[in-house]
Chains A and B, each alone.
Chain A
Amino acid sequence: MPKHRESNHRNGGRERQVTAPHAPPNAPACQTADALLEAYVDDEIGAEDRRRLDAHLAACAGCSAQLDLARRIRSELRELEPRSCPQQVTAAVVAHAEAHPSWSRRLVSWLAPPRRWQPALALLLVAALGLGVWYAVSREAANQQAAEVARAEAEVKLALAYLGRISQRTGTAVGAEVLEDRVVTPIARSITEAMLLRSADSRGGENHAL
């Protein structure tokens, strides 16, 4: 059997009629051709390989028959019709889906309140949200106030220390009544005014935002 391949190749295909076209490829040239046939059928072969294969196929009846068979197999496979899924399969799946709802659907149906409660629950939710916002805003304002008082206290202490130092240097004794009238009262007044002004501003800002 191998003889036909070699002789065909050498004689340019003159012995095609006497070959056994369906014999397995044994000659090296036929084996190379056989390995390339499927890619050749799919047109996924390089130009140089295609040229060499074309030359071989023109000379070799066996490989040429293999090419026909490869083409026929590919064509017959492509003619096999897609199958339609029987209706009862789909019906069984839909029945299963209805009988076994998914976990997310079960969770939603378990958590969902009765319809008549829904408006009241919606109102409750809105009220809870409003309360939360009010609490957050007032807490923020209180924190701000406390910080300002602490800062003012620190400033007063620094001012008093500074006055004490000056009076020591100059040898001047400053009476408590003088400090009260000239320093403590004006500072306290200015702090109070500043705080009132700031809280009025923040209320105005909230009203504006609402």
Chain B
Amino acid sequence: MREGEFQDLVSRHRDRIYTFAFYSLKNREDAEDVTQEVLIRLWKHWQRLDDEFLTAWILRVTRNACCDVVRRRRTHQGKIGDNPHEPEIESMASRDPDPHREAEAADFRRRLRAALRTLPEPHRSIVILREIQGLKYDEIAAAVGKPLNTIKVYLHRGRKLLREQLREVTAYAKAS
């Protein structure tokens, strides 16, 4: 049996799965659980999957697993809230010599990630797949199971929703 082949598959797709889950859930433990779950499902099915549709299958399973986690959270917590204990990884790396501007940029990024998690589906998945993971429209269409033009509409609506959420923040920052 080609165990090496499966391990190659894992190496090729694990970061993609984890990145999607991380930005979709913004919780490392949940992202790890989802990644592990998806890879185990891949182990069960990979020999029956066509190479051509493998990436789409993986992304679809990952997205469904993330949606399940979100649904469970809603059940347990009543709503999805920002995790105050989540470390701000990006803010650790300083990008701007001006501390005020850097603080504003870090705050903007934190709010952007928080806003991203509040987007409805499939907007959130499409924004993550397109803007963060850099997938092509046709790859996203295959993963989400919607026509290419619909993907573009959802992407633009998703970013517009982010803009509406961040509009007040930006206005406040400018005013202060």
Contact = CB atoms under 8 A, between A and B. Distances in A.
A105 to B, nearest CB: 5
A18 interface: no
Contact of B15 (A21, A70, A85, A108): A85
A141 interface: no
Interface stretch (B76-84, B138-146, B155-163): B155-163
Interface in B51-96: 90
Chain A contact residues: over half helix, strand or loop, or mixed? helix
A108 B174 contact: no
Interface residues of B, number: 49
Nearest to B32: A89
Contact of B36 (A20, A44, A73, A92): A92
A93 interface: yes
Which 7 residue pairs of A and B lie closest in terms of their CB atoms, listed nearest first? Answer: A22-B171, A38-B156, A77-B131, A85-B18, A85-B14, A93-B39, A82-B19
A48 interface: no
Interface of B: 1, 3, 6-7, 10-11, 14-19, 22-23, 31-32, 35-36, 39-40, 43-44, 47, 90, 108-109, 112-113, 116, 127, 131-134, 152, 155-157, 159-160, 162-164, 166-168, 170-171, 174
A100 B42 CA distance: 13
A138 interface: no
A78 B132 contact: yes
Contact of A39 (B6, B156, B170): B156
Given A82-B19, A82-B133, A84-B15, A89 B35 contact: yes
24 contacts: A22-B174, A42-B152, A42-B156, A44-B152, A65-B170, A73-B159, A77-B127, A78-B131, A78-B134, A80-B90, A80-B109, A80-B113, A80-B131, A83-B15, A83-B23, A83-B31, A85-B14, A85-B35, A86-B18, A89-B35, A90-B10, A96-B40, A102-B44, A104-B1
Given A69-B170, A102-B43, 7 more contacts: A22-B168, A42-B156, A81-B90, A93-B40, A93-B43, A104-B1, A104-B47
A84 to B, nearest CB: 6
B18 A74 contact: no
Q: How large is the interface on A (under 10, 10 to 19, 20 to 34, 35 or more residues)?
A: 35 or more
A37 interface: yes
A97 interface: yes
Contacts of A70: 159-160, 163
A104 B167 CA distance: 55
Contacts of A34: 160
B132 A73 contact: no
Interface in A17-66: 20-24, 34, 37-39, 41-42, 44, 65-66
Interface string A171-206: 000000000000000000000000000000000000
Contacts of B10: 90, 93-94
